[in-house]
Structure 1
């Protein structure tokens, strides 16, 4: 049976996911078989396993850091918010329906046996399990029937490291206050504190560390710096959205719709010198990009109506008419079509007009497409013709079927890896300077992003031969190593190994 250690935080975005990933990498480097686990994740960024099951991307990132294949038992419950008060509930990688927060809170106790079954499967197969909590363990209104913080730590008999974010300020109040709000048996599970995202001279912080240990009664096992590394973010708290708005030689604008999902699709462009990738929410932020991307979304119809109301749809249509390259992925692809119909009430219900840039009709249905795919770009003319013959790999995850009408041509030919007979099919559509695809991670292979940037450069008369990226998987491996090296330097790994061995 595996030994376990749990990373909890004083708040969302305190850095739990990154610390957990770093520990996964360190344990792997030290020769252990290690796996990540998070019983319940709430995020719009998700992933499809090779079995066609859906899980949160944070545990995918951690599995990659651990050097293992992501599996749905690493994240048995995934909540994908559909609005401010409800979520799509995914258990064991499959959708069981939409629930309000109140209904889910009542239903949650029924899920704990499934959570423990998934955890036990991992515990039987690995030496160490790195468990991640969610939000804060001190949310006293949510502690009843908790399955993701102290409730999980108790069941797994996992010692807890509590992480606080000093970058936001108030880290001493965060950590001491969280410990004070815990029950006595919960306090006993907390074996160490980590101050995360520190910038500056640590010696100035040392007196505060001493006071923190005295007042909390817990040892500080590390002060982790603000690490300049890039791994995939869990959800829309990402700082990427608030990043640089300066325009590069090749400028790509992503429409940041309210329910944006799987925005990690576009990370490969960030690796390319001379290319700017900007997230925009208002017309005045759009400027004059060379390419506009409409991303995936958890609610295509409502996000299209949001674009329609704030003027971004009209701005995109104007740019498309002037020849700007437009690319839609998943929900963004659906928006580019002529109609979106929802007879079953999967999203907003009813029928609305799409943007009309592609002769495609989409009908939403209860069944969710979840599959990993590979294939090639085929039959493309115009700006992106040099993509023809280039290989791609990714996954589909969507509610809805899109049907091509006269004039539209498919963008790719792909093979469904989840089908028993590895079924071939056509995906996406293109017309003129407008392209769309259901495939997430479609830009991940180095050659795909490079060919797109080269095509844009050719139109602008810019030599892009030096503006090359890297294979995204290779890049991520270097980042995991940098993360592990940074944490080894600033965490007391000897004490953390002792905590792991001692247990609770």
Structure 2
């Protein structure tokens, strides 16, 4: 098959571009094609480390999983990670090139077109279909002149475009019409269809409006996606998970500290598969005190987040909970926060050069100029503290951290690296994806169940298997509500 592509843009951030791309990837793959996702530039704090140690957006890694291929940095050649104080870390082809201010990056990004086209060329040469994703809105008038991620990218890779609109937030017809009308004539010609997303109700009630917007724009409606629940990773802080998980009823209550610069919160998703687990994202010290486990997740700016939770009184409540014996697990930035202090001699994260940690682990972290990015496979020695009785198990995950942590705690990995330590009721680890390891997670949750007089349980399937089931669920919903024949026709006509 000659290589084909199709691009998905949205009327706004959070309209449903990523989930639409994921659905298309899964459907094309199930139809027998080799497929890959592509997003030239992604701004997100949820990132992923490939097998060869390159960093990329987590959303594109998930889309690669939907295609059942290994994620590669060429699927997201530019990743921007906000660091605070109006600065972003710029990652090109999987490696950080440093921090920039918004104006500085705006001046620089034109030089990245070559990198984008080279990355796309690799996909074009190796896959039947590429599903391209835009970012934000395609008609930000102040940025159209040097666009490298929306309609400018569509022109660069010569892709037909599908526009996704979110009906749940209201004003869907105005947003569709306004988006298309603000496009240049050549851009309008690329728009081959519209998908209305997150509809609650009977589609028949919507049909007169859909017909009218087709007449006004000359662009067909390809489908109306219903509002539905799906347990797959979200791209970033736009996620609704921070709000809706509190309503879940469970016998095990877990408090996750919602840091200002929370990153890789997808680490928590594997815990949600357990029906008796309730997750509460904590933003106030009042919310801490009656949980069975506290998790301090990853952070893009550990020092600023540490300062913030101290000022909010959250840090003191975590210390109180630890003294009562509440299990506490810190992941990456959360691991660093658990130590005696965090130092930033080179100003990697800002102006604060040193800040005391929570003091729950006898360790300290120094922010270094070079970032460590690698996948990890090893053996966990579950012999102390919360892990006493677990024995030796295999664990997998990935590391993304600027800080180097040293101290007097004992490593609990066979290679004796400070990738994980345990002390009494505290665990600190650099491993993103730690809860994806079934034996580890089942053991921790069963310790809590035992303490509460509940029956022990073991997970029936791995999180990877669960994710594929959810992706198949997405594919079915997509096929039931979107005209795939029309989408294939768009592919063939391009």
Q: Distance in 2 between matches of 1:383 and 1:332?
A: 17
Query: Residue 410 in 1 paired to residue 379 in 2?
Result: no
Query: Residue 385 in 1 paired to residue 378 in 2?
Result: no
Query: Residue 353 in 1 paired to residue 362 in 2?
Result: no
- Cα deviation digits, residues 132-159 of structure 1 (max 9, x gap): 0000101111112100000110011100
Query: Residue 499 in 1 paired to residue 490 in 2?
Result: yes
Aligned runs of 1:69-80 on 2, under 5 Å?
69-80=70-81
Q: Distance in 2 between matches of 1:27 and 1:5?
A: 12
- Does structure 1 conserve the Cα–Cα contact (< 8 Å) formed by 2:44 and 2:80? yes
Aligned runs of 1:366-445 on 2, under 5 Å?
366-405=369-408, 408-413=409-414, 425-445=417-437
Aligned runs of 1:231-250 on 2, under 5 Å?
231-246=232-247, 248-250=250-252
1:379 offset after TM fit, Å?
5.0
1:84 offset after TM fit, Å?
5.2
- Does structure 1 conserve the Cα–Cα contact (< 8 Å) formed by 2:289 and 2:321? no
Query: Residue 470 in 1 paired to residue 461 in 2?
Result: yes
Instruction: Give structure 1 stretches of 5+ with no counterpart.
Output: 415-423
Decide which moves more: 37-46 or 239-248: 239-248
Secondary structure of the residue that 1:412 maps to in structure 2? coil
1:277 offset after TM fit, Å?
1.3
Secondary structure of the residue that 1:69 maps to in structure 2? coil
Quickly say closer, same or farther: Cα 1:469–1:350, change in 2 above 3 A. Answer: farther
Pick the aligned partner of 2:262 from 250, 260, 263. 260
- Cα deviation digits, residues 28-58 of structure 1 (max 9, x gap): 1111111000000000000000110000001
Q: Distance in 2 between matches of 1:469 and 1:273?
A: 12
- Does structure 2 conserve the Cα–Cα contact (< 8 Å) formed by 1:11 and 1:136? yes
Which residue in 2 is equivalent to 1:112?
A: 113
Q: Distance in 1 between matches of 2:117 and 2:381?
A: 46
1:464 offset after TM fit, Å?
2.6
1:325 offset after TM fit, Å?
0.3
Which residue in 2 is equivalent to 1:421?
A: none
Query: Residue 202 in 1 paired to residue 203 in 2?
Result: yes
- Cα deviation digits, residues 145-197 of structure 1 (max 9, x gap): 10000011001110000000011111111111100110111111101011011
Aligned runs of 1:57-456 on 2, under 5 Å?
57-83=58-84, 85-246=86-247, 248-348=250-350, 349-405=352-408, 408-413=409-414, 425-456=417-448
Instruction: Give structure 2 stretches of 5+ with no counterpart.
Output: none
Secondary structure of the residue that 2:464 maps to in structure 1? helix
Secondary structure of the residue that 1:70 maps to in structure 2? coil
The size of the alignment, in residue pairs, is 491
Q: Distance in 1 between matches of 2:340 and 2:486?
A: 60
Secondary structure of the residue that 2:146 maps to in structure 1? coil
1:383 offset after TM fit, Å?
2.8
- Does structure 2 conserve the Cα–Cα contact (< 8 Å) formed by 1:446 and 1:469? no
Query: Residue 482 in 1 paired to residue 469 in 2?
Result: no
Q: Distance in 2 between matches of 1:69 and 1:470?
A: 21
Quickly say closer, same or farther: Cα 1:9–1:196, change in 2 above 3 A. Answer: same
- Cα deviation digits, residues 284-338 of structure 1 (max 9, x gap): 2224111100000000000000000000000000000110001000000000000
Q: Distance in 2 between matches of 1:135 and 1:7?
A: 11
Q: Distance in 2 between matches of 1:241 and 1:264?
A: 11
- Does structure 1 conserve the Cα–Cα contact (< 8 Å) formed by 2:11 and 2:163? yes
- Does structure 1 conserve the Cα–Cα contact (< 8 Å) formed by 2:386 and 2:426? no
Decide which moves more: 169-178 or 223-232: 223-232
Q: Distance in 1 between matches of 2:54 and 2:310?
A: 33
1:410 offset after TM fit, Å?
1.3
Q: Distance in 1 between matches of 2:288 and 2:180?
A: 45
Q: Distance in 1 between matches of 2:144 and 2:279?
A: 40
**Aligned-residue CA RMSD (Å):** 1.3
Secondary structure of the residue that 1:236 maps to in structure 2? coil
1:447 offset after TM fit, Å?
2.0
1:210 offset after TM fit, Å?
0.3
Q: Distance in 2 between matches of 1:17 and 1:366?
A: 32
